[in-house]
């Protein structure tokens, strides 16, 4: 009894064709390229309407394809005319989305007793931004941890950088700034500094802010109740 095992050797043929259009100069650059097993195999020269073969194995195919003049003309028309028109339509239809810009919201947060100050920036679009910490106006990298750009549920993006201030004396906190440099489309530079907070409380935790609001609300209610009680007593006396 004999068992025959058939082994196949797969090959990968790749093709990439398209165009680039400069909306300022109107220049169009088309391309049509083929790859074989991850390596360049054939590329179309749109000026001479001939194929270039970087590999000796592709020379025979090049000669056959060079002889098909009608196909070469169709490929050139597709790259230089049909492709740019499709590209212009895509840009026109998606203009509101492609040119959308949203400014970030940046803040400073610290959760005691942690010595790490987080500087989150959120709500910006497009998703290109650069954040860093500075000391006396100079960018620093020591004790700094930079997060990745993440996607929010509403399609905007967020990012944060953290600074470990365990070795920074309280009187030196004002020398540090968190800088958010927006994308080229936004051309926006935002600086969040410790000096925006009182010296004795340089980084205001969210819990402290909420607690202050609650205490203020309680005080207003107490004053109102006292005033109301006084009015009722006066009315009863009459």
Residue 212 belongs to a domain: no
pLDDT at 140: 92
pLDDT at 127: 84
pLDDT at 125: 86
* Whether this model's pTM surpasses 0.85: no
Domain housing 120: 105-204
Residue 110 belongs to a domain: yes
Any idea of the CA torsion for 118, 122, 127, 133, to the nearest 10 degrees?
Answer: -30
Considering the domain architecture, whether residues 189 and 114 belong to the same structural domain is answered as yes
pLDDT at 232: 44
Considering the domain architecture, whether residues 158 and 118 belong to the same structural domain is answered as yes
Residue 154 belongs to a domain: yes
Residue 63 belongs to a domain: yes
Considering the domain architecture, whether residues 112 and 58 belong to the same structural domain is answered as no
Distances (CA, A) of 61 to 18, 54, 227, 235: 21, 12, 97, 106
CA 30/CA 43 separation, integer angstroms: 11
Tokens standing for 167? 């070795």
Residue 35 belongs to a domain: yes
Rg of the chain on CA atoms, in Å: 33
Tokens standing for 78? 């597709």
Residue 188 belongs to a domain: yes
Q: How many domains does the chain have?
A: 2
Considering the domain architecture, whether residues 118 and 199 belong to the same structural domain is answered as yes
Give the domain-ending residue among 70, 93, 116.
Answer: 93
pLDDT at 226: 45
Tokens standing for 100? 């959308």
Question: Along the 238 residues of the chain, how does pLDDT read in single tens digits?
Answer: 455 555 555 788 899 999 998 888 989 999 999 998 889 999 999 999 999 999 899 999 999 999 999 999 999 999 999 999 998 888 888 777 767 788 888 888 887 777 889 999 998 888 888 899 999 889 999 999 999 999 999 989 999 999 998 888 877 888 888 888 765 444 456 666 765 443 333 443 333 333 333 333 433 333 444 444 454 444 444 4
DSSP state letters, 160-202 = EEEEE-TTS-GGGGGGEEEEEE--TTTT-EEEEEGGGS-TTSS
CATH of the domain at 86: 3.30.500.10
pLDDT at 109: 86
61 contacts: CB under 8 Å, gap ≥ 6: 41, 42, 51, 53
Considering the domain architecture, whether residues 111 and 199 belong to the same structural domain is answered as yes
Tokens standing for 89? 């339509």
């Amino acid at each position: 009894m004999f068992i025959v095992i058939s082994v196949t050797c797969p090959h990968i043929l790749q093709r990439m064709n398209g165009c680039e259009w400069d909306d300022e100069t109107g220049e169009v650059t088309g391309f049509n390229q083929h790859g074989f097993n991850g390596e360049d195999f054939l590329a179309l020269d749109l000026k001479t309407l001939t194929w270039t073969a970087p590999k000796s194995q592709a020379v025979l195919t090049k000669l056959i394809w060079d002889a098909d003049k009608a196909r070469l003309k169709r490929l050139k028309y597709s790259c230089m005319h049909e492709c740019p028109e499709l590209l212009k339509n895509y840009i026109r239809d998606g203009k509101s989305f492609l040119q959308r810009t949203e400014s970030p919201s940046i803040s400073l947060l610290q959760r005691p007793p942690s010595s790490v100050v987080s500087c989150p920036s959120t709500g910006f679009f497009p998703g290109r931004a650069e954040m860093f910490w500075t000391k006396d106006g100079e960018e620093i990298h020591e004790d700094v941890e930079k997060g990745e750009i993440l996607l929010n549920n509403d399609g905007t993006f967020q990012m944060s950088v953290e600074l470990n201030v365990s070795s920074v004396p309280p009187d030196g906190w004002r020398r540090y700034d968190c800088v958010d440099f927006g994308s080229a489309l936004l051309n926006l530079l935002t600086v969040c500094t410790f000096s925006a907070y009182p010296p004795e409380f340089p980084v205001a935790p969210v819990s402290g802010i909420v607690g202050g609001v609650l205490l203020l609300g309680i005080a207003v209610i107490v004053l109102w109740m006292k005033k109301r009680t006084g009015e009722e007593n006066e009315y009863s006396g009459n």
